[in-house]
Amino acid sequence: MQAALAPSVSEERKWLVYRAPAILLGVALLLSFIVRIRLANAPLERDEGEHLYLAQMMLEGNAPWKLAYNLKLPGTDAVCAVFLALFGQTVAALRIGLLILNTVTVSLVALLGRRLFGISAGLVAGASYALLSASQNVVGTVFHSTHLVALFSVISTLLLLRSGLKPGKLLVTGLAFGLTFLMKQPGAAFAAFGALYVIVLWRQTRASVSAGVTALLSFGLGFALPYALLCLALWRAGVLDRFWFWTVTLAEAFATQRTFETALTILKDALAQVILPNLFLWLAAFIGLGLAISLRGTRASGLFTSGLMIFSFGAVSAGANFNPNYFVMMFPALALGLGALIASGESFVELAASLPDTGSERAKPSGKTRNKRKSPDRERGEPDSAGRTLFAWRYRRRLPFVFCVIACLFSVLAQGYYLLAMTPYEFSRSSYGSNPFPEAVQVGEYIRTHSDAGARVAVLGSEAEIYFYSHRRASTGYLFTYSLMETHQYAAGLQGDMIAEIEAAQPEYIVYVTCAASWLKRVDSPETLFDWISQYVPAHYHAVGIADIPTSGKAKYIWGPEAASYRITSDNVIVIWRRKH
């Protein structure tokens, strides 16, 4: 598949032609830097807390799934460990790492857009991705694994376009897609797109059967290699069985519980949240892809980008959760759609301008009229004075770029306060409501300053960020309690395992989080764990701290002996219990 040819531009005019898209990219990156740096110390949300705690365990030399369990593959945790090692074990270190990754992704999206649609299109695609990936509606300043999936998918796609059917290059390309999968399981959708591209290229080039089979095998081997090496390492660490149970058996049970009707309802709500603040960027992208497919010069690149878009949505749909941050995996393809608008839009405007006036052609000119000398304007193919009243002829090819600028401007204006003024606390509350993320900072700090370095902690709920803030090791491997609240056959047994681990460890602190979002308890969820909490915890622990979180306003903190007699006023609290001596 060949990239669309950019319009020919003389050397002396290149700077003038590309200056406006380059400025747009620079402004988009500047806004992304501003919001990411200003919110670098925003409270961690629970997924970030899980990644950071697991990263801490890796840095201490512990294999994944040895001391903590989760449903995700460990690629994101490994990247977090790198940033903690480089920049220190702080929240800001993680967010600065995300800024670096995002800047690299923006640059690579621009390169991919250039490869497919030309330089101007690539610059606009990069600018679009910078704005989309920093949006609050997908909590773009939060370190989710979807940012890494987006990065590695773009790297893989660039390699794919350069590979042809050469086995060696396809092996490397498959390896890149394999790393995409290790960042998060939905990354496998991009590998499926890569395999389909190899098949299509094989058929288009009419290569031999042996050449096509060799190409597919090379690609598949490269894709499988990272996962195979991970399994080998975990087998040597003695945790392969646990890894398989959590990432395959339990993940499958979790994913198959949602009905199709429920998934559609969730998708409808998610699309409204994700699209509206960037409505014109989405519209411009789909218009661009439609135009690219309709024009011969950009059809191949338009079809390629449309295929990437479809498989990107497949990645978003994995598990039918449709969390807003999952749509980050679609944003590279969406940004390329805006690049397609630049390339195909210019061609479409030229084509429309070159069409004859059908009304004048139907009128038969007289001989005298035919013999009249054409005006200089008409000899140059320029419009008459009536045409100039609509827009200047010389600027007609800039209309697609103007539309993209308007789309970007709408996105910025719709999120102006968030981009330029919102505080970290306001961001946490406006993005996550009454989830106890700001309060987890204070809880973790209290435990850190009131315990020895070797003290153990158990968090009852899904707030692994408390482990990271306190720099204390968990006494149970169950960092999230969501799997324990499901209705699958394993839920009751998992609750029993968590109880047994806590009783055996006898942690110095137990932190009980009552926030509903930290449990996602169902009507038919097993009650074993809650019965145990109500009996075991008060019998062996006494309250030493409470964060009482109202529906509006800041939380009230009660520390020391007053916590035991404090009357809780809300359903959303964090209670810190210390073991009785």
- What pLDDT, on a 0 to 100 scale, did the predictor assign at position 225? 97
Percent of the chain with pLDDT over 90: 76
**Which has the closest alpha carbon to 176: 112, 223, 215?**
223
Q: Which residues contact residue 71 at a Cβ distance below 8 angstroms, ignoring those fewer than 6 apart?
A: 246, 247, 250, 251, 254, 483
Residue recorded with tokens 């990219």? 25
- What pLDDT, on a 0 to 100 scale, did the predictor assign at position 260? 82
Identify the helix (H) or strand (E) that includes residue 573.
Answer: strand 573-579
CA dihedral 369, 372, 378, 383 (to 10 degrees): -40
Residue 378 above 50 pLDDT? no
Residue 564 above 90 pLDDT? no
pLDDT tens per residue across span 315-340: 999 888 899 999 999 999 999 999 99
Q: Are 508 and 578 in contact (CB under 8 A)?
A: yes
pLDDT tens per residue across span 232-254: 999 999 999 999 999 999 988 87
The Cα–Cα gap between 261 and 278 comes to 27
pLDDT tens per residue across span 59-115: 999 999 999 999 999 999 999 999 999 999 999 999 999 999 999 999 999 999 999
Q: Which residues contact residue 83 at a Cβ distance below 8 angstroms, ignoring those fewer than 6 apart?
A: 55, 93, 94, 96, 97
Mean predicted confidence (pLDDT) in 512-535: 93
What are the domain boundaries of the chain? 27-345, 433-579
**Which has the closest alpha carbon to 134: 347, 306, 277, 302?**
277
The Cα–Cα gap between 88 and 199 comes to 45
Q: Kindly tell me the sign of the dihedral angle through the C-alpha atoms of 479, 482, 485, 491.
A: negative
Residue 346 above 80 pLDDT? no
Q: Which residues contact residue 435 at a Cβ distance below 8 angstroms, ignoring those fewer than 6 apart?
A: 45, 46, 428, 515, 517, 518
Q: Are 31 and 131 in contact (CB under 8 A)?
A: yes
Is residue 373 classed exposed, middle or buried when 0-12, 13-18 and 19+ CB atoms within 10 A define those classes?
A: exposed
273 is written with which tokens? Answer: 């949240």
The pLDDT-based confidence of 377 (bands split at 50, 70, 90) is very low
Q: Are 147 and 102 in contact (CB under 8 A)?
A: yes
Question: Would you call 577 helix, strand, or coil by DSSP?
Answer: strand
Residue 368 above 50 pLDDT? no
The pLDDT-based confidence of 392 (bands split at 50, 70, 90) is very low
The pLDDT-based confidence of 492 (bands split at 50, 70, 90) is very high
**Which has the closest alpha carbon to 481: 438, 532, 547, 433?**
532
What type of residue is 430?
A: S
**Which has the closest alpha carbon to 176: 115, 224, 211?**
224
Average model confidence (pLDDT) across the chain = 89
- What pLDDT, on a 0 to 100 scale, did the predictor assign at position 356? 61
Cα atoms in the Cβ-side hemisphere of radius 13 Å centred on 153? 32
Residue 360 above 60 pLDDT? no
3-state secondary structure 465-480: HHHHHHCCEECCCECC
- Report the range of poorest mean pLDDT among 31-40, 174-183, 315-324, 328-337: 315-324
Query: Which residues, listed in sequence order, are joined to residue 543 by a DSSP beta bridge?
Result: 577
Mean predicted confidence (pLDDT) in 127-136: 97
The pLDDT-based confidence of 410 (bands split at 50, 70, 90) is very high
**Which has the closest alpha carbon to 135: 330, 403, 338?**
330
- What pLDDT, on a 0 to 100 scale, did the predictor assign at position 363? 47
Mean predicted confidence (pLDDT) in 448-452: 95
Q: Which residues contact residue 383 at a Cβ distance below 8 angstroms, ignoring those fewer than 6 apart?
A: 353, 377, 393
* Percent helix, percent strand, percent coil in the chain, to nearest 5: 70, 5, 25
Query: Which residues, listed in sequence order, are joined to residue 559 by a DSSP beta bridge?
Result: 545
Rg (CA), the chain: 28
- Report the range of poorest mean pLDDT among 16-20, 21-25, 157-161: 16-20
